[in-house]
Amino acid sequence: MKITPIALYDILLKEFGNLNWWPKDKKYHEKNSSDPRFEVIIGTILTQNTAWSNVEKAINNLKEKNMLDIKKISRSDMVILPNLIKPSGYFNQKAERLKNLAMYIYNNYNGNLDLFFNRNPQEIRDELLSQNGIGPETADSILLYAGNLPIFVVDAYTKRICQRIPFKVDIKYDEIQDFFQSELSKLYKANKLTKVYNELHAQIVILGKTYCKKKPNCIECPILKNCNFGIQLSK
């Protein structure tokens, strides 16, 4: 049975429901008058090459020192900051990336994320990609989850699922992104796309972690009957 990104979204929405990514501690930010969007930005950098459970430990360390703030990170000590985010792995590298981005936003936009995000999304994306250590997936995660902008995030799970179903699309990042955005925009209006992209990416991650692993669990997978790889493996 042929499947489309629209059908995939419907199946996964019924299976997993609304996942409401990206997690952030609203009470913390209300108490400290800080911007919760910066916590999301921190998370997108810290989650590179590590499990989310490790990111949570690092973010909790930053919370304890009241460091979830653009100005504070931009002025942070490069001995203290790596130590705080150590649970996330590659901590010296990530500390440098995090501080550089915080300095960039603080110096160019006075630390104001409204100013930073209230522009053409492609312009913001180009600026993010110009920062050391920020690639397409991290940049697009910042745009979608922190900026609330309609950009579909492509990750390793998305690429794997595209190959296994398969969708008739190259596995290059931009081509997969264009394919999903083009297909989903046929049904959903512009003001709905951000939520759809948010939910679908989150659902694909859960699908990839639970069923569509490198060694897959196809028998229980909710898209089994729509996946050529799963059907062949189950014979």
CA distance 60 to 57: 5
| Backbone φ, ψ for residue 226 (5° rounding) | -105, 5
Mean pLDDT, 10 residues at a time, the chain of 235 residues: 90 95 92 95 96 96 96 95 97 97 98 97 98 97 97 97 93 96 96 96 97 95 94 84
CA distance 232 to 225: 10
Domain 34-146 indexed as CATH 1.10.10.10: no
- The two structure tokens encoding residue 202: 């989150």
Q: Which CATH code for domain 5-20+154-234? A: 1.10.1670.10
Tell me what pLDDT residue 85 has.
98
pTM of the model: 0.96
Residue at 17: amino acid letter: G
User: How would DSSP label each residue in 80-91?
Assistant: HHHHHTGGGSSH
Tell me what pLDDT residue 168 has.
86
Cβ atoms of residues 81 and 46 within 8 Å: no
Tell me what pLDDT residue 1 has.
59
Give one word for 89, left, alpha or beta, with left for phi > 0 and alpha for psi -120 to 50: left
Cβ atoms of residues 140 and 158 within 8 Å: no
Please report, for the chain, the start and end positions of each structural domain, with discontinuous segments joined by +: 5-20+154-234, 34-146
